[in-house]
Structures are given as C-alpha cells and as structure tokens.
C-alpha cells in the first residue's frame, strides 16, 4: 500500500493515525507530479489528498480510506463494540467534517491581513464554533471521544482540532478552539497524555509549519 499526501493535511494525518493505531506502517508520500498532474488525476479525478494505492486500485477520501483499513485489517479494531457507540463515532467524524472543517477553506483564503474580508472571517468563525458545539454535544463521557479507548472518532478529531488550534485560528486572534467547550477541552487535554496522539500532533505541527513557511515565507499574522 502507498498513501499519497502530506502530513501537513489533517485529512492525511487522520489516515496515518488510524493506520498506526492498527499497527500499520503507512508513511505518506507526495503525489507524483502534484495534485493536478495527469498521473495523480488518473488515480483520483478529485485531485485532492489523500489517496491510498492498494496494488493499483486507488481509494480516495480520508474517511473512506479509514473504513477500508478497518475492513482490511480488523485485528486491532477502532470501531466500538456497541452498535450505538459505533454510530456515535461515525457521527462525531461526520459532524467535524461537515460543520467544522468545511469552514477551513473560507478562513484559509483570508489568512493575508492585507486582503482580509472581516465579515467573511466573522461568519466562518461563527459557523466553525457552532459546529464545534455540535461535536461537543455528541462526545461520550470520556476520556476518549467515545468511551475509554481510542476509536476512529479520535483519529478524526485529533488532526482536525490540531489544525484549528495550531494553524488556522491563531492568525485570527482565536487562542483555542475548545476554551468555551468543557467536554471538548477535557478530551483535548486527554489527547496530550496519549503517546500516539502526541506523536501525530507533533508530526502534523512540524509539517504544517513547514508548509506555511514555504507558502508564505513566514507564518501569516493577524
């Protein structure tokens, strides 16, 4: 198997975390020729990362790739045993993708203070914070997102919240995406004690900072 993408992407980091939790050594490689190259588009016309190449058959979309890894390598499952808890794990991931991460594009396009549209920034941050409140609502009692062990929901949340906390929101003056959400804040603190979560968060942070340095020359300020 080959995983195409960059660790600077929270979606790629999600797949890497899922794979490592299952004992798989899956290291991301940059897409051949770039995201929009003919070679890469022949694998996935979406032109996005990640893509998983399984003996020439390609699987796109991070959530689908994680589901594939669960089906192909069920020995160390990241699915809760209880059907309702499995539904909760999927719901948390779905809520983060649709109602939180969907706002990252509009904010990313506003990183440059010289061309920033504050009304668009305020609207995106408001929608993002509303989405995080929805995530908070669906979290289990802990210490992990669903119960007492790491699940697929944590593999989605950890890179996503790291992206918000470390990269996306600070340039807009938002110190922490979880400071007003007690349960999500507890979960975030717990992730700081889990070795796998620490490892993925650190690798994502380094990769994201390197990406921003290459794109902007320095981290964009307020």
114 plus 153 within the same structural domain: yes
**What is the pairing mode between strands 51-54 and 2-4?**
antiparallel
- The three-class DSSP label of residue 220 is coil
143 plus 45 within the same structural domain: no
42 plus 130 within the same structural domain: no
Does residue 222 fall inside a structural domain?
no
Calculate what percentage of the chain has a pLDDT beyond 90.
Answer: 87
CATH of the domain at 118: 1.20.1050.10
**How many distinct structural domains can be found in the chain?**
2
pLDDT digits (tens, 9 = 90+) for 115-174: 999 999 999 999 999 999 999 999 999 899 999 999 999 999 999 999 999 889 999 999
42 plus 87 within the same structural domain: no
Does residue 97 fall inside a structural domain?
yes
- The three-class DSSP label of residue 78 is coil
Does residue 211 fall inside a structural domain?
yes
- Say what the pLDDT of residue 222 is: 42
Domain carrying residue 131 = 83-216
User: Against a cut of 0.85, is the pTM above it?
Assistant: yes
pLDDT digits (tens, 9 = 90+) for 22-46: 999 999 999 988 999 999 999 999 9
CATH of the domain at 41: 3.40.30.10
88 plus 184 within the same structural domain: yes
DSSP letter at 173 equals T
126 plus 157 within the same structural domain: yes
Dihedral (Cα; 151, 183, 156, 107), 10-degree rounding: 180
38 plus 94 within the same structural domain: no
- Say what the pLDDT of residue 218 is: 58
- Say what the pLDDT of residue 219 is: 54
Give the residue ranges of DSSP H helices in 100-194.
104-108, 118-138, 152-162, 182-191
Counted residue by residue, the chain has a size of 222
Domain end, chosen from 76, 96, 120, is at 76
């Amino acid at each position: 198997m080959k995983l195409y993408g960059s660790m600077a992407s929270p979606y790629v980091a999600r797949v890497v975390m899922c794979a490592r939790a299952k004992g798989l050594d899956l290291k991301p490689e940059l897409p051949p020729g770039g995201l929009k190259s003919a070679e890469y588009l022949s694998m996935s016309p979406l032109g996005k990362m990640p893509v998983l190449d399984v003996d020439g058959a390609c699987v796109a979309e991070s959530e689908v790739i994680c589901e594939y890894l669960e089906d192909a390598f069920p020995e160390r499952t990241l699915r809760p045993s209880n059907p309702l808890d499995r539904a909760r794990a999927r719901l948390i991931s779905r809520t983060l993708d649709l109602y939180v991460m969907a706002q990252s594009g509009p904010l990313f396009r506003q990183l440059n203070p010289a061309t920033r549209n504050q009304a668009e920034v305020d609207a995106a941050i408001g929608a993002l914070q509303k989405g995080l409140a929805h995530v908070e609502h669906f979290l289990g009692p802990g210490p992990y997102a669903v119960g007492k062990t790491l699940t697929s929901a944590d593999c989605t949340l950890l890179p996503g919240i790291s992206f918000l906390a470390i990269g996306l929101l600070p340039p807009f003056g938002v110190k922490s995406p979880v400071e007003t959400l007690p349960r999500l804040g507890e979960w975030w603190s717990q992730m700081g004690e889990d070795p796998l979560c620490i490892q993925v968060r650190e690798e994502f942070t380094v990769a994201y900072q390197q990406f921003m340095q290459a794109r902007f020359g320095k981290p964009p300020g307020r």
